[in-house]
Amino acid sequence: MLGKNSIRVFLLFVASPFLIFGCSKTPKTDLTSIHVPNKIDEPVLLSELAITDKKIKLETKDGVFLGNIVDVKLYKDRLFVSDKKKVSIFDLEGNFIQFLGEEGEGPGEYKLVTSMDIDSASGLIYVSSYNKLLVFGADLGLVEERKLGYPIGYLKVLDGDLWIVSEEIGIKVGDKTANQTNLYKLGNTFEISDTIPFRRVILDKIQIGGYWFRYWLSDTGEGIFLFMPVLTPENTLRDTLYQLSDGMIKPAIKFHFERAQSLNEQGYQTLLLYNVVNSSSYYILEYAQDWEPFMFLYDKKNKIGYNLSKGLTDADGDPVFLRPLDLDADLFYYTKKKAFSDLSTEEENPEIGIVKLR
């Protein structure tokens, strides 16, 4: 786990943006590489890999209608569910309890959720809304609110410390522009106590790419791992998972895609790697190929990879995509919406499945 000391950077491409680990031609290295084939496997049943699969139908009632769920946290038999606009709290039977905070721009209010996390030791709940940081206590009341001088793309509590991944867009670099990503560790008064420059992407003009499902830091018994995608047009693939270890950030695993990166006629990438999640027993990659979604699930123990269209297949024959709840315990969740056919009624809130993999 991260200690209190400052972390020193070991990213070669910080010094030179042209040294990219994800490019198709890389020098020989001792870095562990996992092959991601172009061939898509036959469907794999969720039941073949799961020990448990608990389904929770989230309550639908007046004023409680969820949009697309982008994050779920499990804490003390409560589900904290973010749909980008708000955080809704349910019990494990799916009963709605309350919203966290209020919608708006006043104290304890927010209009957009960019990230959230819960410190299991203190019970503090952290929610970010662009550059606004809100902290709620275990009683769900507002404890602290700060407007920071930088955007909060992702936040995570690591070893009791709050870490933020921030991407500053459009930094002028000569006649070009740059997107600069930094990791910040915040102190008790939310000032920056440590900074790690992670990546600078040089571009011809101001550009930004984003994806709502963000799992950039994975914290397991193996350590802390970092993956953040680059979704601006570039004819290369950032395919390396990094580890924060021994005061450095260093490459840990390279995922070698058989299909090479390319740009389409509009200049967009045809292969997009959104997330690399590292649990105790699995790597889960979320990627798109020609705008079609795929999941690559790698079993570390048996050294077997499954390259799947849209995800694992549930008992109804539908694909479900696993997203992290407790990576140490190989605990994940998925969401599933009921088919919506009656336009005279509100769409029902989805079902959440909580899955423990073998």
Rounded CA separation 266/112 (Å): 30
The predicted pLDDT at position 24 comes to: 38
Backbone φ and ψ for 228, nearest 5 degrees, come out as -135, 125
Q: How high is the pLDDT of residue 208?
A: 84
DSSP state of 61: B
pLDDT of residue 343: 52
Beta bridge partners of 352: 56, 335
Cβ atoms within 10 Å of 156's Cβ, excluding its own: 21
pLDDT of residue 4: 36
Q: What is the pLDDT of residue 70?
A: 95
Q: Whose CA is closest to 209, among 233, 184, 187, 182?
A: 233
209-125-77-66 Cα dihedral, nearest 10 degrees: -40
Q: For residue 289, what are the CA distances in angstroms to 212, 265, 298, 347?
A: 18, 15, 18, 30
Let me know: does 234 contact 15? Beta carbons within 8 Å: no
pTM of the full predicted structure? 0.88
Q: Name residues of the chain where pLDDT drops below 50.
A: 1-27, 344
Whole-angstrom Cα distance, residue 217 to residue 220?
10
* C-beta separation of 151 from 166 below 8 A: yes
- The CA angle 150-142-168, to the nearest 5 degrees, is 10
Structure token pair of residue 285: 């990659």
Per-residue pLDDT tens for 65-81?
999 999 999 999 999 99
Strands 32-36 and 248-257: parallel
Q: What is the pLDDT of residue 337?
A: 87
